[in-house]
Amino acid sequence: MLEDYANLAEGLLGLYEATFDERWFTTARSLADAILDRFGDPAGGFFDTAIDHEQLVTRPKDIQDNATPSGSSTATLVLLRLAALTGDSRYRDAAERALATATPYMVRYPTAFAQWLQAAAFALAPVAEVAIVGSPDDAATRELLAVVGGGYAPNRVVALRPAEGDTEVPLLEDRTMLDGRPTAYVCRDFACRLPVTDPDALTEQLREVAAVA
């Protein structure tokens, strides 16, 4: 079922940003790809059942958020976050088509579409894409992480890798340390400001991105 894929992908993305273990990112991305392939509706949005599910009279597509968010709204938010981490337009395009199908209902019945409203806010917000390069054991890296992890920042994605080694997260590709020090890159739509190594400078860049409408 769609909600199984979407909820697991959402949890794995959260786990990635808590641990920066890339296996959680790659698994979440593979689940998102499966959502597009197996649950996508060509008219926009997602069906509740997979393409190879048993034949039903009609293929269900329940988009309302009830006591728990719908699979469709959760999948949409997952795709938006993956778009910010990967720059892959497939995820953004699918999420925007899904939002278009739900917008009339969000406007009329907002309390029944809370997760959809979160997805819409993320889609419309100036999302800060933060890439940090540095060892997690380095105190300077932890200071940068403390800045991006402090406070409520729903419109922010964070990725981290050590100074050496390959990465499966496109946001981290070609990012290097500055003068051998843990370094942060604050980007929007993969266009990045100058890299910084100072927590105060990182705070200021995050404030600037958030202020852009």
pTM of the model: 0.94
Q: Which pLDDT does position 56 carry in this prediction?
A: 66
Instruction: List, in order of start, the domains of the chain with CATH numbers.
Output: 2-124 (1.50.10.20), 128-211 (3.40.30)
Q: With bands split at pLDDT 50, 70 and 90, how would you rate the model's confidence at 57? A: low
β-pairing, 191-192 vs 183-188, is antiparallel
Judged against a pLDDT cut of 80, whether residue 59 lies above it is answered with no
Task: Tell me the two tokens of residue 213.
Answer: 């409408």
User: Does position 122 have pLDDT exceeding 60, yes or no?
Assistant: yes
Q: Which helix (H) or strand (E) holds 187?
A: strand 183-188
- Of the ranges 9-13, 17-21, 53-57, 173-177, which one carries the lowest mean pLDDT score? 53-57
